[in-house]
Chain A
Amino acid sequence: MSVASLAAVLLTAVLGAEPASVAPVQPFESPADRTPAGKIDELVFARLKKLGLQPSPLCSDAVFVRRVYLDVIGTLPTAAEAREFLLDRNPVKRRLLIDRLLQRDELADYWAMKWSDLLRIKAEFPINLWPNAAQAYYHWIRTSIRENKPFDRFARELLTSSGINFRIPPVNFYRAIQSRQPTAIAQSVALALMGTRAEKWPQERLAGMSVFFTKIGYKSTTEWKEEIVFFDPNVTSPKDPVKNAGKKVVTDAAKTHVALPAATPPAKPIFPDGTTARIPPDRDPREVFADWLIDAKNPWFARNIVNRTWCWLNGRGIIHEPDDIRPDNPPSNPELLAYLEHELVASHYDLKQINRLILNSKTYQLSSLARGSRPEAETNFAFYPLRRMDAEVLIDAICQVTGTTEKYSSAIPEPYTFLPEGHRSIALPDGSITSPFLETFGRPPRDTGLESERNNRVTASQRLHILNSTHIQRKLEQSPRIQEMLTLGQKSRPLIESLYLTILSRFPTEDEAKIALRYTEAGKKARREAVIDLAWALINSAEFMYRH
């Protein structure tokens, strides 16, 4: 070793490079090596090395099975699924599980839920889509996801469709916005499909983009609340009918954007990259815009969706927040982002393929136990960040482990809409259909389409609810699943194992099994009561409530 390189090594040591990672922590980590499994790992690990950071160890199979189910299909593995995976000795079982999950129907439910957040699918205030339209729009999105429709086609259909909104569902894109002014539409397009907040743009750029959305006509039909959205070359001044109101006073108010000075659209449509578009009068300007947007050379389009996908799986965007892409908010790992963009285009906009790439990386499979405390570790993906389960996923998980169901209803149309019991929360088609639990646990109101509307920070009301509410209490007391375990007459040890597999998707450790045994057999409590307390404790553990 040369003197210079020796000095470099010493310097690194002195300047506080993180210590070599400690032994894997049971039962959450695995001793498997972290040799890069592909380009993603090469880019992430290289970056970490440059920063003097060590990635955490890989997660254990138990953590992986739970994590990948929750992230890909928004659903807990059943006890049987978890057991089967854990006992499987196939060395490529993680890859095989990823492939199986990417085929599951719940994937369409879960991803449609995310898209319905971003596109604001909500029958009532402030979006006012109306139930029929919300249902039609939701099912179109869900079907597109189930068929793995190439993302460029999905976006183009969203932007360019014309027709009756109950029958041509993507036209509802132009109805699911709080305002129908061209600037408001442009802002919504920029947010959803370019991952950027046009509120922060120079005013001319927003104005230039708005022109593409000045020729949209809206016409009601004889059917109650049905509406036609179409290319209308004769629209001269944009009108802004506020749905449901129709009173003069409201229309006047609605013409004013509170925080944004209303921009006067110039005559010329200008793409956000500054080039001017030429549009023949008989051409729908939305098509011209869509073709510009989804062009493989357009930097915005692929970046937005791969960055969001990364964020959904890894808890944090390469550009963060994922819908705040702008020059002064740079990616933490530009090469990684560029690689994913390239892969998306090369795969013909196949989002499942991008998910598959990320899920199979060791980066995604790192443990959630951070080593050291430098903030760069989080921004550069040195570990998988802990986050509380989404409201919908959490209540579905609680229902699944207890074998109970929930009631969901909407106050419109009168008389109220009630969903059949057993409907899963991740599959709710309309943001107006809800429950007190979802409201308490931060389900997005679908007002704006911002990712930050989903707030998974734990509040005291949430903590009270899971610890001590009659709602959760009743689910435990009346749980058919726990009842079944009790009546099977299992001995305590296998019963504890079943509870662990059902609730935490893993076997208990020896220590845990001992504690649980002592509790259930202490004799101070009835056995049933003790088992319910045990289930209660596992549901209230950090391991259950958080993706980890």
Chain B
Amino acid sequence: MDNESTANNSLFSRREAACRILAGTAGLVIGSQFGLSGLAAEQTHSPKAKAKAVIQIWMWGGPSHLDTFDPKPAAGYDYCGPLDKPIDTNVKGIRISALLPNLAKQADKYSIIQSMTHGISAHETASYVAQTGRMPGDRQVYPTTGAVVSLFRGYDAGYKGLIPPYIVLTEPQGRFSEAGFLGIRYKPFATGGDPAQNRFVVEGIVAQGITDQRQKFRRELLEELNTLKHAAPNNPQLANLQESEKQAYDLILGDAGKVFDLTQEKDELRDRYGRNKFGQSCLLARRLVERGVPYITINYPGWDTHKENFQVMRRKLPELDKGMSSLLQDLADHGLLASTIVWWGGEFGRTPKVQWEAPWNGGRNHWGKVFSAVVAGGGFKGGQIVGASNAKGEEVKERAVYPCDVIRSMYELLGIDTEARLPHPLGLVARITPSASDGVPSGGRLKEIM
């Protein structure tokens, strides 16, 4: 259905309209659409905000907690397999996987939550819970943290960039509709392509093999042959199309898209991040934060290690280690870490007890009872452990932390009112974080590290 408001176009300056169009609103006032005027305005300037941006490293598939940030060497071979010798970090008392040596040198920058829990072991539902803080079954699909931040820190809150405010590198997660009831306007822009390639083709922004000259010819031809558009000069739908087209061309032909040109970075730095999709995505995330983009998800697949878990760990953890440690260091070097939250985690952990038998051959299954998350920067303290799992990493031992606790803490650091109402298409009351009366369990905000 198209519920395009036709009356509001004249209320905006061109620039304002242009910004809105990039997010797909076409001069539609979010407040009037949902009957919540002033919502964004209230949120724009919060004196308490420490964080301006979030980089979410989404470990698609659910990473093993025992093999990363919650090693249990005492649990024995059936739990640790060959990865039974965790290493010390630069923070006394914190040990992590031996396959993360560079991250071990930076433990003072991040804190590890070892008592994450939600009890769900299905990918889609757990992905929803981990990224919305909600529980399923209440007839609502809530928006992810990224969509919420793009509502409160994007175009409605004065963001002026041509680059969309919520970016996913590089593919959408595809587990559920990430914008929930907020709708398509708050979906992330997925770049597609591979930033580790010589030429990073960003879907729609950087095309392959089309010269600027040909772009120009095409644009003129389109203008000449756009007969229906010329026949309906006052149609609000087509005015919207036209505006979004102008903006699209600003991105295609202008300078804003240069943020995706990683050749502008020194080779040595690119090498340090790792010349692979994940490493270069981390570097790109830093560049996007520098340009003021408030939310970036690095969608990092490959952690659903039902089979041959340890081979996968040996292959992938060094890649994670290089990319993520370089990101933390680089953000710090640029003075951005204090204002940028880095949030690492997946939908759940993995079965602590290894399945040695065929066809798993040393695999780990889904595990929602306890898992780990890592947070750094943006006001989160580093060098801390929050909570604990039990001796074999099978259950929460102390200080259960639910996804809503992490999300609530991030909103607080971003200066977003944790009691704020979200616009809802049916006008129902929906808050950005659940309360006790919603029946969503909570262990409280992460006060230990804030």
Contact = CB atoms under 8 A, between A and B. Distances in A.
Interface of A: 25, 27-28, 124-126, 128, 177-179, 184, 187, 197, 199, 240, 242, 244-245, 247-250, 252-260, 311, 315, 321, 368-370, 373, 375, 385-388, 411-412, 414, 434, 436, 439-440, 442, 445, 447-448, 450-452, 454-465, 467-471, 473, 509, 512, 515-516, 519, 525, 529, 533-534, 536-538, 540-543, 545-546, 548
A255 B174 CA distance: 27
Interface of B: 1-4, 6-7, 21-26, 118-120, 122-125, 127-128, 135-141, 164, 171-172, 174-177, 180-181, 183-185, 187, 189-190, 192-193, 201, 203-205, 207-210, 214-215, 217-218, 221-222, 224-229, 231-232, 234-235, 237-238, 240-241, 244-245, 247-249, 251-252, 304, 306, 368, 424-426, 428-430, 434, 437-441
B231 A25 contact: yes
B203 A471 contact: yes
15 contacts: A27-B227, A28-B231, A125-B125, A245-B136, A249-B119, A388-B237, A411-B123, A436-B172, A452-B425, A457-B24, A458-B244, A461-B204, A470-B193, A470-B208, A545-B241
Contact of A469 (B3, B203, B231, B241): B203
A245 B122 contact: yes
Contact of A245 (B4, B125, B127, B172): B125
B235 A469 contact: no
Contacts of A178: 136-141
Given A375-B6, A519-B221, A434 B174 contact: yes
A516 B425 CA distance: 45
Contacts of B248: 460, 463-464, 467-468
B207 to A, nearest CB: 5
Most chain B CB within 10 A, of A249, A315, A509, is at: A249
A138 B187 CA distance: 27
Given A388-B237, A529-B214, 8 more contacts: A125-B128, A126-B136, A254-B136, A259-B429, A388-B2, A451-B1, A461-B187, A533-B214
Contact of A253 (B187, B224, B441): B441
Nearest to A180: B137
B188 to A, nearest CB: 9
Given A249-B118, A368-B232, A467 B430 contact: no
Contacts of B192: 436, 469-471
Nearest to B426: A199
Contacts of B368: 247
Interface of B is mostly: loop
Contacts of A460: 21-24, 164, 244, 247-248, 251
A224 to B, nearest CB: 14
A197 B425 CA distance: 12
Contacts of B175: 124-125, 411
B124 A442 contact: no
Contacts of A467: 204, 245, 248-249, 252
Given A460-B21, A460-B244, A469-B203, A439 B141 contact: no
Given A247-B368, A467-B204, A536-B218, A125 B176 contact: yes
Contacts of A442: 184
Contacts of B252: 464, 467-468
Most chain B CB within 10 A, of A25, A244, A311, is at: A244
A546 B236 CA distance: 13
B23 A546 contact: no
A133 to B, nearest CB: 15
Contacts of B172: 436, 439
Given A258-B140, A457-B240, A463-B241, A541 B203 contact: no
A455 B33 CA distance: 14
B164 to A, nearest CB: 7
The 7 closest A-B pairs by CB, nearest first: A464-B204, A459-B24, A254-B137, A445-B177, A125-B124, A253-B135, A256-B439
A459 B227 contact: no
Contacts of B139: 177-179, 184, 187, 257-258, 448
Most chain A CB within 10 A, of B185, B208, B218, B424, is at: B218
Contacts of B127: 125
Contact of B234 (A260, A373, A473): A373
A257 B138 contact: yes
A253 B439 contact: yes
B405 to A, nearest CB: 14
B350 to A, nearest CB: 14
A471 B205 CA distance: 12
B401 to A, nearest CB: 14
B425 A450 contact: yes
A253 B118 CA distance: 11
A187 B428 CA distance: 14
Contact of A250 (B1, B119, B215, B424): B119
Nearest to B431: A258
Nearest to A536: B218
A255 B203 contact: no
B216 to A, nearest CB: 11
Contacts of A386: 232, 235, 237-238
Nearest to B204: A464
A354 to B, nearest CB: 20
A260 B137 CA distance: 13
A411 B201 CA distance: 25
Contacts of B218: 533, 536-537
A536 B220 CA distance: 12
A451 B425 CA distance: 11
B119 A445 contact: no
Contacts of B122: 125, 244-245
Contacts of B430: 258-259
Contacts of B208: 470, 473
Contacts of A375: 6-7
Contacts of B217: 519, 525, 533
A369 B232 contact: yes
Nearest to B429: A259
A469 B26 contact: no
Most chain A CB within 10 A, of B4, B124, B185, B249, is at: B124
A445 B234 contact: no
B205 A468 contact: yes
Nearest to A543: B228
A386 B229 CA distance: 11
Given A439-B187, A457-B2, A533 B221 contact: yes
A250 B137 contact: yes
A381 to B, nearest CB: 15
